[in-house]
A = this chain, B = another copy of it.
Amino acid sequence: MRYFIVDDDVASRRMLKQIILDGDMGVIIGEADSGVNALDPILSTDPDFVLIDLLMPKLDGIETIDQLRKQGFRGHFIMISQVENKEMIGEAYEKDIEFFIHKPINRIEVQSVLKKTSERLLLKKSLLTIRKSILHFEEETKEETHRTIKDVVSSILNDMGILGEVGSDDIVTIIDLLSSNEEKSMQIPPLKDIYEKLASQTKFSGAEIMKESKAIEQRIRRTISIAMNNLATLGAVDYTNPEFEYYAPRYFEFAEIRSLMKTIQENEMDSKKPKINVKKFLQVLYVEANEKFKHPPK
């Protein structure tokens, strides 16, 4: 199942994330710290479940649900909040949420509820598929609920905090492209070739393609640069942070990250620009995404 988390409290988001991942219940394909910031990403990533806080500044949970529904979102909501007021809870249930979980967050409770709700969804989907097949004698055995490579990649990019960047689309598409390739070599082709291939999907004249592939190159570089900064900032505060600990040494030249962390800690703004190794980043992402895709849980 694909989850999206909306909560203004970082700690809550992290706990939920941890619970979902630990329980092997699915992937987090995005998160947001407010209703307003949640709308666009939810509509574009179309998660199966949205875990949403009721009390949030500006746009509260119920209003957010209204907005999303109005714009055609068909996913399911699970509300998580410390509100005790039965009126509000009732109101939430009227918006057709799946369930209301009371804060403080309790691991077993959340896991149990998520498991039951997602099971219900799966069952429903299977039955719908079956009914359709029976009615039309069709052989559509395509499981739409399966997560794609793109989901896996998105979730990784989200962890690095760059899912919203323009270059992320390029990256996701590239990995998808590479993965759909026949050759099972884990070595990715030269970056130049990759860029050109991607560019040729939208542009058609030779010159256009060259330009676009140059643009792609820069977009990706800038996106990765942002990821480095994000991780370095995380690590500067707490180098046992799980995202930092995992991604920083694997996806980047850790020496670069380290010197970045230093300048951050010492608040120097000068900073010799760090070296950005696009090839390494894509290579690791490619192998790891495929691995996670083939052997989902951990």
Residues of A in contact with B (beta carbons under 8 Å apart): 84, 86, 89-90, 93-94, 96, 98-100, 102, 104, 106-109, 112-113, 116-117, 119-120, 123-124, 126-127, 130, 145, 147, 150-151, 154-155, 158-159, 161, 163-166, 169, 172, 185-187, 229-230, 233-241, 243, 245, 249-251, 253-255, 258, 261, 264, 277, 279-284, 287-288, 291, 294-295
Contact = CB atoms under 8 A, between A and B. Distances in A.
Contacts of A245: 241
Given A86-B104, A161-B249, A230-B254, A166 B187 contact: yes
Contact of A186 (B127, B169, B235, B264): B169
Nearest to A100: B109
Given A237-B239, A255-B264, 8 more contacts: A119-B120, A120-B123, A127-B127, A151-B295, A154-B186, A164-B277, A164-B282, A233-B255
A107 B258 CA distance: 42
A160 to B, nearest CB: 8
A108 B94 contact: yes
Contacts of A99: 99, 113, 116
B109 A120 contact: no
B239 A238 contact: yes
A71 to B, nearest CB: 23
Quick one: copies of this chain in the complex?
A: 2
16 contacts: A84-B102, A86-B109, A89-B106, A89-B109, A93-B109, A96-B112, A116-B120, A123-B124, A163-B250, A164-B280, A169-B186, A229-B255, A233-B258, A235-B237, A237-B261, A238-B240
Contacts of A235: 237
A118 B181 CA distance: 45
Contact of A294 (B84, B106, B145): B145
A145 B295 contact: yes
A140 to B, nearest CB: 14
Contacts of A84: 102
A161 B277 CA distance: 13
